[in-house]
Structures are given as C-alpha cells and as structure tokens.
Amino acid sequence: MSAFAEVMSTVVRNRDPRCSELPTCPVCADSMVAAEASAYVSDHVISYLWTCDTCGYGFVTKHSVKRFTCN
C-alpha cells in the first residue's frame, strides 16, 4: 500500500485584511470568528465585545474608523 502526503505552506499570501484582525482568546488561545456585540463609542471609534465559546472569557476591543471621501 502506498501513501501520499501533500505539504502545505504555512505562509499565507495576500491575506484578507479583516482575517488578520480577528482575535484569539488570551486564556485558551481558541480563535474567535464574530463579536458578540458592537457599539459606537464616538464618530470614529467602534468597540466590540468578544466572548470565547470555549472558556467563556470576555473582553472588549476598540477600533478607529477612517472616513472615506469621494472625488
């Protein structure tokens, strides 16, 4: 019986910028896909509530939003 194995590169090329911003749980290192809730803190800042499905740990992240202008 013969076996076949494919080695995949661990380097991701041209990754979607949103994927790189997804957090992992600081307690159990599980990856998180979606925030539980979000809220506008000010005109340019949004906060997100993250809760880990595995261990239940929760934390908040804040992100600044850039304003786009049309030409």
* CA dihedral (59, 61, 26, 32) positive or negative: positive
CA distances to 14, 41, 70 from 19, in Å? 11, 23, 26
Residue with tokens 């979607």: 16
Cα–Cα dist 60/58, whole Å: 7
| pLDDT, tens digit only, all 71 positions of the chain | 454 444 444 454 555 555 556 788 889 989 888 899 999 988 888 999 999 999 999 989 888 887 767 76
What pairs with residue 58 in β-bridges? 51
- Tell me the backbone φ, ψ of residue 38, rounded to 5 degrees: -140, 155
| All structural domains of the chain with their residue ranges | 23-64
